[in-house]
Amino acid sequence: MLRFGNSSTSDYFKLLDLDGDHLLIGARDVVYNISVRTFLEVHSIRWPSKKSVINECLMKGKPKDACHNYVRVLAKDDKNGVLVCGTNAFQPMCRKYEHEKYGEYRQVLEFSGLGIAPYDPNYNSTFLRDNDLLYAGTVSDFSGADPLIHQRNVTKVVDLGIRTERNDVKFLNEPQFVGSFRDDKYVYIWFREQAVEQELCGAGAGIYSRVARLCRSDYGGPRPYANEWTSFVKARLNCSIPGQYSFYFDQIEAISASKVSFSSESNNLIYAVFRSPLAGISLSAICAFDMKQVNAVFSHSKYTNTHQNNMQSLWMMQTQNSKFRPGNCVNDSRLLPEEAVAFARANPLMAEAIPNYFVAPVVVHSGFDHFTQIAVDAKVKAVDGHLYDVIFVGTDRGNIFKMVNMAGKNIARARQLSHHIYTLQITDEAIQNLMLYRSNTASLNESYLIAVSERSVTRVPLAQCNHFLTCYECVALRDPHCAWNLETKQCVLLDDLNGSYEQDIVTGRGDRCGTIAKLQQFFSFDTAPILNDSDEPLQDVSYVIPSSPTSTVINESCICEDKRPIPACASGSSAPVAILADSSLNSSFANNSLAISVLCASIATLAMIVGFFVGNLYCHWKVISETKSSSYPSFSTMPQPVYASTRLSSPSLNIINAYESVPKFTETFLPQRSDSPISLMVEDLSSKLPSILGQSTLPKNYRTKQIYL
């Protein structure tokens, strides 16, 4: 594991592109070119903001750390040119550089980055280069109140381009962009935003996840709409636990970098990580979306728009069919009739949501870690001949979860949609970018996971097979990248299937590992291993951080709970909880596993017998002592706490929870306190209910909001 960066200042690193075997990283006042193989800086482009621009930024009240040029956009062209755009101390600028033959970069063009780069380095933006055109999802004003999806020609100094309509919440309403990509016909922008359909219905503010689709051949409309999209459409993403009352994960955080195919099917899937929207309920989930289903919704779904009903705007599905179909691509959008463009501007939202390909989330995680990024190694072939998608997830605590997707496998033994292979600790900061790097040789030994946080860039091997020293540990890992070599007696990377290997992705049972492995499986705990960022192995990693308990199944989905520390007796076994064995560990440990297991079982049995007799003697003594008269007063005569009145006097005790306050009934309806602080009194209020309701200060037609947890 190699790391690039510094721990003194926050450079706001952002992974911008991959150029062969070199990473292009945007940072504060600089772009780094880092070799993936050596993980050293090969070249850099320095571009600090001018002092006058920095002073103006400070005068506007921005913090000193924000008044720098944070590079957020880097896009190569088909030749030797590269476009670089940065925040420039809240005055976005772009430059075009050309690569000269001696390795240096020469500036050839500079223009305003308005609508291309964000003002604030913390803003979630996205960009995509398509020949001379650049698509960007960002904001175009200092305050961040004017979000837009923008397309412009970056080979020209002045080009207005086309954009989403300004100040129209039907298009964008406080969006946070998470990713973008294109195919042969369309550009897709993924984001979350305030749900305008909830606000207009009076249901209060809510966040929905969306995907917007644009035609690559969209050059704006006829003259009145020359700088506006004619093909912009968007739809909601449905990532939820199904049921009578579905639980929705509405806050999309990231998408996989490219389209991946699941198993042998021809479906092109996009994996995405989501967060639950409710305060106090910390859940993360992974859902997948088939691009065929995405385009089917855009092609066949009805639209929704606003209607006036009793002086209130309602967001309703369109009932009448229209001769216009926004989102369909034409050869020249500038020749569209104005009526068609007006209909597209009024109906950008699809009525149908895009379904989750696997119906339920592939993974649901509850715990201290929140998912922030995702990368997928698709179609990894295992020993059993099946193809599996291996999922890497970055969290806000600097951890990487490695998982395998088993959803859709027609295997009777599979009990869950996914399996948590292990957790890798690499930093104490949130993972901002996650990318899978494959070398030209396609060897796993030269393939890495690139993880980016604000202060560092880390290179991580795709698998940690060499840390698992026994056949049982290797097979119980259930990692498609790893298998136990029956000839060399080692846990190795599975680069090819030529050889004799033991591997079981579905159940993790090593049938050819021997008798000791079966006993280890009996005494094992089904928890995901935890690895740290050091190359030195740990003897007892089950105490590294509070981890999660055994995975449970909800709707056949893997739910990763918080792992609790494992007792020392259990961690001494070769179960997967002790996932990093010390390099100096005696090789005879596996031979002594049976004796250790029998000893633990014997001690537990003896403890149960002794406990039974001790408990029996205590019960006899307790019965005899209670028959004797006690010299102490009864519990009911103990001094009772003194209350000033029937009302609670402490303001802090007047709160039921974080969202509701105690109903303000009069004192006459409060039950009297008991003499004993541990007794309960229940009063029948049925006869007094009408009088209580009669004293309500709310109007009769007052509508309240119900919250279901």
Q: Give the residue from 382, 383, 401, 396 showing the smallest Cα distance to 427.
A: 396
CA end-to-end distance (rounded Å), the chain: 42
Report yes or no: 397 and 423 within 8 Å, Cβ to Cβ: no
CA distance 170 to 346: 8
Distances 538 to 30, 323, 375, 397, 461 between C-alpha atoms, Å: 37, 67, 27, 20, 18
User: Across-strand partners of 590?
Assistant: none
Phi and psi of 116, rounded to 5°?
-115, -55
CA distance 137 to 343: 23
Report yes or no: 564 and 549 within 8 Å, Cβ to Cβ: yes
DSSP character for 259?
-
CA Rg, the chain, in Å? 31
Question: Tens digits of per-residue pLDDT, 314-361?
Answer: 555 655 566 778 888 999 999 999 999 999 998 999 999 999 999 999
Q: Identify the residue whose tokens are 């070398």.
A: 439
Taken as a whole, the chain contains a residue count of 709
Report yes or no: 250 and 208 within 8 Å, Cβ to Cβ: yes
* Same-domain pairing of 214 and 328: yes
3-state secondary structure of 13: coil
3-state secondary structure of 100: coil
Q: Give the residue from 467, 473, 541 showing the smallest Cα distance to 508.
A: 473
Identity of residue 348: P
CA distance 372 to 452: 11
3-state secondary structure of 210: strand
Q: Give the residue from 613, 428, 445, 637 showing the smallest Cα distance to 533.
A: 428
Q: Give the residue from 51, 57, 68, 87 showing the smallest Cα distance to 11.
A: 68
Of the residues 361, 386, 407, which one is the last residue of a structural domain?
361
Does residue 386 fall inside a structural domain? no
pLDDT given at position 282: 83
Question: Tens digits of per-residue pLDDT, 444-495?
Answer: 778 899 999 999 999 999 999 999 999 989 999 999 999 999 999 999 998 8
Question: Tens digits of per-residue pLDDT, 569-628?
Answer: 333 332 332 233 333 333 333 344 445 666 667 787 888 888 877 887 777 776 666 555
Does residue 623 fall inside a structural domain? no
Going 71 to 73 to 78 to 81, the CA torsion angle's sign is: negative
Of the residues 564, 597, 630, which one is the last residue of a structural domain?
597
What element of type H or E holds 57?
helix 51-59
3-state secondary structure 502-568: ECCCCCCCCCCCCHHHHHHHHCCCCCCCEECCCCCCCCCHHHCCCCCCCCEEECCEEEECCCCCCCH
Does residue 618 fall inside a structural domain? no
Return the structure tokens found at 172: 């964008």
Domain count, the chain: 2
Does residue 32 fall inside a structural domain? no
Using a 10 angstrom Cβ sphere, with 0-12 exposed, 13-18 middle and 19 or more buried, the burial of residue 45 is buried
User: Across-strand partners of 282?
Assistant: none
Task: Give the distance from CA 426 to its chain's centroid.
Answer: 17
3-state secondary structure of 582: coil
b/e per residue 305-320 (b: at least 16 CB within 10 A): beeeeeeeeebeeeee
- pTM recorded for the entire structure: 0.73
* Same-domain pairing of 301 and 187: yes
Does residue 106 fall inside a structural domain? no
| CATH assignment at residue 234 | 2.130.10.10
Q: Give the residue from 249, 446, 229 showing the smallest Cα distance to 345.
A: 229
Does residue 297 fall inside a structural domain? yes
Of the residues 569, 597, 625, which one is the last residue of a structural domain?
597
Alpha helices (H) along 119-270: 196-200
CA distance 594 to 573: 9
pLDDT given at position 665: 34
* Same-domain pairing of 341 and 465: no
Structural domain range at position 306: 170-361
CA distance 130 to 145: 27
Does residue 217 fall inside a structural domain? yes
Which strands form 14-19's sheet, in the order they lie side by side?
14-19, 22-27, 30-35, 41-46
pLDDT given at position 306: 66
* Same-domain pairing of 465 and 569: yes
Distances 551 to 51, 557, 560, 690 between C-alpha atoms, Å: 55, 9, 5, 49
CA distance 304 to 296: 17
Report yes or no: 75 and 94 within 8 Å, Cβ to Cβ: no
Distances 639 to 675, 676, 677 between C-alpha atoms, Å: 10, 9, 10
Distances 707 to 243, 278, 279, 379, 386 between C-alpha atoms, Å: 17, 10, 12, 41, 44
Distances 62 to 50, 310, 707 between C-alpha atoms, Å: 16, 45, 38
* Same-domain pairing of 347 and 462: no
Does residue 337 fall inside a structural domain? yes
User: Across-strand partners of 137?
Assistant: 126, 149
The per-residue pLDDT of the chain, averaged, comes to 76
Task: Give the distance from CA 104 to its chain's centroid.
Answer: 39
pLDDT under 50 in the chain at which residues? Answer: 264, 308, 310-313, 411-412, 517, 519, 522-525, 535-594, 629-709
* Same-domain pairing of 357 and 454: no
CA distance 73 to 91: 14
Return the structure tokens found at 678: 């541990």
